[in-house]
Amino acid sequence: MIALMTLPDWSPETWGAIGTWIGSLATAAALLAAILAFRGARDLYEIEVERDKDRWKAERQSQASSIAGWVSPRVAGDKPAFLYVVRNASVLPIYDVEVEFWIDGAMLGPLRYPVLPPGDDVKPLLEEMLIGDDEEPWTWSRWSYGQLVHMRLALQFTDCSGLKWRRDEAGVLSGLMAVSKMHDASRLLVDIA
Q: Tell me what pLDDT residue 111 has.
A: 85
- Residue with the larger pLDDT of the pair 189 and 149: 149
> 94 and 175 share a domain?
yes
Question: Is residue 41 in a domain?
Answer: yes
Residue 19 sits in which domain range?
Answer: 12-61
> 85 and 146 share a domain?
yes
123 forms beta bridges with 84
- Residue with the larger pLDDT of the pair 20 and 132: 20
> 186 and 93 share a domain?
yes
> 79 and 173 share a domain?
yes
CA 166 to chain centroid: 11
Q: Tell me what pLDDT residue 140 has.
A: 63
> 120 and 186 share a domain?
yes
- Residue with the larger pLDDT of the pair 191 and 125: 125
Instruction: Work out the pLDDT band at 82, boundaries 50, 70, 90.
Output: confident
Burial 165-184 (b: 16+ CB within 10 A, else e): bbbebeeebebbeeeeeeee
CA 112 to chain centroid: 24
The SS3 assignment for 98 reads: strand
> 128 and 74 share a domain?
yes
Question: Is residue 3 in a domain?
Answer: no
Burial 62-88 (b: 16+ CB within 10 A, else e): ebbebbbbebeeeeeeeebebebebbb
Instruction: Work out the pLDDT band at 179, boundaries 50, 70, 90.
Output: very low
- pLDDT exceeds 60 at position 181: no
Region of poorest pLDDT, from 45-49, 102-106, 158-162, 189-193: 189-193
> 34 and 52 share a domain?
yes
> 40 and 76 share a domain?
no
Give the total number of structural domains in the chain.
2
Q: In what order do the strands lie in the sheet with 67-76?
A: 67-76, 79-88, 119-125
Question: Is residue 130 in a domain?
Answer: yes
- pLDDT exceeds 80 at position 66: yes
The SS3 assignment for 2 reads: coil
